[in-house]
Amino acid sequence: MAPTTAHGVESAYDYVIVGGGTAGCVLAARLSEDPDCRVCVIEGGPSDVGDDRILRLRNWINLLGSEFDYGYTTVEQPRGNSHILHSRARVLGGCSSHNTLISFLPLPQDLDDWVAHGCTGWDPATILPYRDRLLTRIVPVAEADRNPIAKDFVTAAARALGVPVIDDFNAEPFADGVGFFSLAYEPEGNLRSSASVAYLHPILDRPNLTLLLETWAHRLLDDESGRLTRVAVRGADGQPATVRAERELLLCAGSIDTPRLLMLSGIGPADDLRDLGIDVRADLPGVGENLLDHPESVIVWETNGPLPPNSAMDSDAGLFLRRDTGQPRPDLMFHFYQVPFTVNTERLGYPVPEHGVCMTPNVPRARSTGRMWLRSADPAEHPALDFRYFTDPDGHDERTIVEGLKIAREVAATEPLSNWLVREVAPGPDVTSDADLSEYGRRAAHTVYHPAGTCRMGAADDPMAVCDPQLRLRGVEGVRIVDASVFPTMPAINPMVTVLLVAERAADLLTGSPGPTGSPGPTGRAAAR
């Protein structure tokens, strides 16, 4: 009979994974490959199995703000948009069940940056070979899903800007180029190949794998030896319970909820926690700091009628540019939307065209960095998020958006894309000065839902590192963090595949298994074999 504690009935497993999202699904699958290893996943949302609202990729936009969205907001952004909804998925598979599944390997220089920040063992030669272990099906947008206007965008961008057309962005590292994205999907039926679909659906009958769905983790607790290996949860039935990890507790709740859970458990900036009446267990000032994102703005055109209906997910093609050609990575990116994305321009008073498209200049390596913190000790209250958009002192992020809006107009004025367009709706052709483009671009800015960095890993002498390069939480025994919160810097590309690679690497770190290059992973305790 399971013991009963002050926090309800307690159950025990070898590994407890808090968060059944992108990373959590990978860890659950890999660790449960050992039939003697008991694995439990705590996920706050429902299952995605058999739910076409989740599984149909093109329905992603209808998930924003829905019952599957935690719907976080920001504090006032004096130089940005204060009205952004930061969607975080409340469903098995996490954001890989919620997003567009644009899939890029990190560029080698992205990982070089991590090593430069003290993250030994995260170099390109170690991490990039994990691509061969990924179970998600990643393919370029299928020919049947290539809308004619998206094809003409690719042609026009290559013609206007002199960049190469790229058939597969993951074939080799790129500096710039335009083309159709690679997606984690099954083109037949437009079905997601999310982390849950690829890693968990085939193994849901494993007897050593337990999924606790619609179960909310709200505090980490000590065990008898003082290790932090227990989680206080509220189950789907509303009853309190405790889940204990006999080996390690793995936090995979994402860049908002992982630091939130740590702070609720007394791990974070000590003075801030004391001010809220939270007992301090570990003074880690980096928890909640280094909040990163890929900010982007939008420019909208009306088209000369409805577009052909075929598409994978309505944002199937994109463009990467180097304004600084002395650098090996792009410093400007665009998504091309085959729908008018007007949630922010409409609020600013711009009309909504019945038929339209847009381009979204994006800052791949934004220099503005924010932070998040608890508003109270109440686990039910959303934390405060301050991305501090467009506040970098050199104006890099703002300048990137302004130049992006200008470049988007160059592409739009080039055939064959220009043949589809009737007029620029937002900001409109009269907005031309850098000052006016900046004002518009920042007020109409939005997110592509890539928060990262709030529990970053780093070297032992880095006072703001929250975990070490083995992903172990500093100053606390028994906990590792495995999600985008450990990123020390933001990859230049959409980060979902980077999260998958982090999770695959983490599985080797936990079990002591050799990596794909044959080198053993540094580890604490190896899983039983």
Residues serving a catalytic function are 450
Q: Annotate 297-335 with three-state secondary structure.
A: CCEEEEECCCCCCCCCCCCCEEEEECCCCCCCCCCEEEE
b/e map 48-79, b = 16+ CB within 10 Å? beeeeebbbbeebeebbeeebbeebebeebeb
C-alpha to C-alpha distance for 212 and 205, rounded to whole angstroms: 14
Alpha helices per DSSP H over 166-313: 195, 254-264, 270-275
161, with CB counted inside 10 A (0-12, 13-18, 19+), is middle
Please choose, from the candidates 300, 334, 387, 338, the residue with its C-alpha nearest in 3D space to the C-alpha of residue 494. Answer: 334
Helices (H), 207-309: 254-264, 270-275
- What is d(CA 124, CA 328) in angstroms, rounded to the nearest whole number? 15
Q: How far apart are CA 492 and CA 109, in angstroms?
A: 9
HEC string for 355-421: CEEEEEEECCCCCCCEEEECCCCCCCCCCEEECCCCCCCCCHHHHHHHHHHHHHHHHHCCCCHHHHE
CA-nearest of 378, 259, 248, 361 to 300 is: 361
Q: Which amino acid is at 166?
A: I
Q: How far is CA 281 from CA 11, 226, 374, 467, in A?
A: 24, 11, 16, 15
Phi-psi region of 417 (alpha: psi -120 to 50; beta: other; left: phi over 0): alpha
Nearest-angstrom CA–CA distance, 283 and 280: 7
CB within 8 Å of 258: residues ≥ 6 apart: 18, 19, 251, 252, 454, 455, 481, 483, 485
> Which element (helix H / strand E) includes 423?
strand 421-426
Cα–chain center distance at 23? 10
Tell me the C-alpha distance between 297 and 345, whole Å: 10
Between CA 192 and CA 185 the distance in angstroms is 4
Q: Tell me how far apart the alpha carbons of residues 52 and 62 are, in angstroms, rounded to a whole number.
A: 12
Q: Which residues of 209-221 are buried (b: 16+ CB within 10 A; e: fewer)?
A: bbbbbbbbbbbbb
